[in-house]
């Protein structure tokens, strides 16, 4: 059985003091033996402090982005080694906000995934279609293309360190959630694609998270779907109560 993995993407929210408060509340509210794996992804400026607060707990630390080069003249960019040096185990790559607002291409995302894995980070690789693409019946094409390009050159062995997050863009931050059936349909399609590209065992071991307006009151039903192995949570992870509610329903 695959473990459920719940990750909170704080996005551009939470200054240092707010980060300390939020992570302390999450730790206080989390039972000692939470069955789900829990990951928090604060902004870069809070990573080091949150990392100290997470020491000795089961909660894992993730970053929201990184650059693929090792070091050098890349003003304002952050490398994989830098993330590791502050205790990150995960990094979110290819989020739709990076794709849409910051024009990140599949090729760039692929380079980032390669570097992250080579440096020993685990990648939460985000994919998902726009509203227009869904309405035009292109969802499965878009998702296949993103997987094909994003995972180019990634080996079966490396896939153990990849989580795929299916996030229909029309459901992110909009309050519109994909129905459990809509999400399950795409998740099972993704698992089949991965089985074809790699093997059944890689596909069966793969964690596929759903993201897009996940809240405590819809998490249970989404997470009970056969191929939904967790959630990537935006808005609802900014309050400890609602994030803990989602974790509890996993
Ligand atoms: P949301 O964001 O939960 O606010 O829709 C999800 C995400 O962008 O990962």
Q: Give pLDDT tens digits along the chain (250 positions).
A: 899 999 999 999 999 999 999 999 999 999 777 889 999 999 999 999 999 999 999 999 999 999 999 999 999 999 999 999 999 999 999 999 999 999 999 999 999 999 999 999 999 999 999 999 999 999 999 999 999 999 999 999 999 999 999 999 999 988 888 899 999 999 999 999 999 999 999 999 999 999 999 999 999 999 999 999 999 999 999 999 999 999 999 9
The pair of structure tokens assigned to 49 is 């402090």
* 71 CA distance to ligand 1 middle (Å): 30
Confidence (pLDDT) at 1: 80
Domains detected in the chain: 5-249 (3.20.20.70)
In three-state secondary structure terms, 80 is helix
Q: Are 64 and 92 in contact (CB under 8 A)?
A: yes
Q: How would you classify residue 213: left for phi > 0, otherwise alpha for psi between -120 and 50, otherwise beta?
A: left
Q: If 0-12 CB within 10 Å is exposed, 13-18 middle and 19+ buried, where does residue 58 land?
A: middle
**From 12, 167, 231, mutation site for ligand 1 pocket: most ligand atoms within 8 A of C-beta:** 167
Confidence (pLDDT) at 155: 98
Q: How many C-beta atoms lie closer than 10 Å to residue 51's C-beta? A: 18
Q: Are 209 and 164 in contact (CB under 8 A)?
A: yes
C-beta 211 within 6 A of ligand 1: yes
* 75 CA distance to ligand 1 middle (Å): 27
Confidence (pLDDT) at 176: 84
Residues with Cβ within 8 Å of 104's Cβ and at least 6 positions away in sequence, in order, are 94, 98
């Amino acid at each position: 059985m695959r473990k459920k993995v719940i990750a909170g993407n704080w996005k551009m929210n939470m200054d240092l003091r707010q980060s300390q408060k939020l992570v302390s509340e999450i730790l206080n509210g989390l039972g000692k033996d939470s069955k789900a794996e829990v990951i928090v992804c604060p902004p870069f400026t809070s990573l080091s402090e949150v990392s100290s607060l997470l020491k000795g707990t089961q909660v894992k630390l993730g970053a929201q982005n990184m650059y693929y080069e090792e070091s050098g003249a890349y003003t304002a960019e952050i490398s994989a080694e830098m993330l590791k040096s502050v205790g990150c185990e995960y990094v979110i790559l290819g989020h739709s906000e990076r794709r849409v607002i910051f024009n990140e291409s599949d090729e760039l995302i692929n380079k980032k995934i390669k570097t992250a894995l080579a440096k020993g980070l685990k990648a939460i690789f985000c994919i998902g279609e726009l509203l227009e693409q869904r309405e035009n019946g292109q969802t499965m094409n878009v998702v296949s293309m993103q997987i094909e390009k994003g995972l180019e050159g990634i080996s079966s062995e490396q896939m153990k360190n990849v989580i795929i997050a299916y996030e229909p863009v029309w459901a992110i931050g909009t309050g519109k959630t994909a129905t459990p059936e809509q999400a399950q349909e795409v998740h099972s399609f993704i698992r089949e694609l991965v089985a074809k590209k790699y093997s059944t065992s890689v596909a069966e071991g793969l964690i596929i998270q759903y993201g897009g307006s996940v809240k405590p009151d819809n998490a249970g039903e989404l997470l009970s779907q056969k191929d939904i192995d967790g959630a990537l949570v935006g808005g609802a992870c900014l309050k400890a109560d609602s994030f803990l509610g989602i974790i509890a329903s996993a």
